[in-house]
Amino acid sequence: MKRYLALQKIIELGSFSKAAEALGYTQSAMSQMMHSLEKELSIAILKRSRMGIELTIEGAELYPYIKQTINHYQIMQEKANDICGLESGVVRMGTIASISAHWLPILIKEFQAQYPKVEFVIHQGDYTMISEWVRTGAVDFGFLNPAAVSGLKTEVIKDGEMLAVLPENHQLAELEAIPLSAMMDEPFILLEEGHYYEPLKAFHRLGLSPNIKYTIHDDYAIMTMVEAGLGVSILAELILHRTNYKIVTRPTIPPVKRTIAIAYKEKDSLPMASRRFIEHLKDSVTKLP
């Protein structure tokens, strides 16, 4: 079945190398699988052309039956998993701190009430790290901003606001909302997010560049530094829930938004446990903070 799935991906992408990357194989392994399949069927299935890899005449005649076989296999696999009731399985995900702290505890508790034997492996990092983990197969899917990634499938889950974070006694704290331009003269503490930074994008859209004094990988460390009067920052509203730091949060002018999506290579190739968890996530969006 792996050979049929590999063939399907080659036809879809028109390339051995792209198909190998999408499925997590080496190009050599992909070529060996196709050679083995052609030898078994005694038919040359694929040929190279200026358009890339495509089916031969004989391969085109055979391919509908191969697709039918794949569909039947997937239906059988789904049924087997339903019969087993997800007795076991592992959900491997990459996530950011705010999701780890404020979404996952709720989601996992509810999910495990239905599937108590499913295990979770959670890697926390920035957008760049998470997208790389998905590409290499270290995780099945990841939470990130879809604008921060290319070459992966994404599904938007929820949009959220980002807030200015100030020391309690800061002069800007007297305002109900903070213009981004008013933060220009302040030491700015930037959250390390990989290659994509929502606050910087917001500043740059206005032709502004903040005075970045510190770049840190931890939201809570930033709150501590703001509390100490070392600077100001902009963080996701979600991470600011239930904190006891002596800081003030305010909306910005214009508002800074953050979109959270899930990213994966191919949904059909996700393990059943991860697919079920994603379904649970999407069903629970309205309950999430």
**Which tens digit of pLDDT belongs to each residue from 99-156?**
999 999 999 999 999 888 888 999 999 999 999 999 988 899 999 999 999 999 999 9
> Cα(84)–Cα(86) distance, rounded to whole angstroms?
5
Would strands 90-95 and 52-55 be described as parallel, antiparallel, or unpaired?
Answer: unpaired
- Under a CB-based contact definition with an 8 Å cutoff, are residues 134 and 141 in contact? yes
Task: Give tens-digit pLDDT for 71-98.
Answer: 778 767 766 766 665 666 789 999 999 9
Query: What is the CB neighbour count within 10 angstroms for residue 31?
Result: 16
Task: Give tens-digit pLDDT for 242-271.
Answer: 889 999 999 999 999 999 999 999 888 888
- Under a CB-based contact definition with an 8 Å cutoff, are residues 148 and 196 in contact? yes
Does residue 207 surpass a pLDDT of 90?
yes
Which residue, among 283, 267, 279, 285, has the nearest Cα to 86 in the 3D structure?
279
List the structure tokens of 128. Answer: 């760049």
Cβ neighbours for 267, distance < 8 A, ≥ 6 positions apart: 153, 275
Identify the pLDDT of residue 48.
86
Identify the pLDDT of residue 85.
59
Task: Give tens-digit pLDDT for 209-235.
Answer: 999 999 999 999 999 999 999 999 999
Q: Which domains are delineated in the chain?
A: 2-84 (1.10.10.10), 90-157+260-287 (3.40.190.10), 159-257 (3.40.190.290)
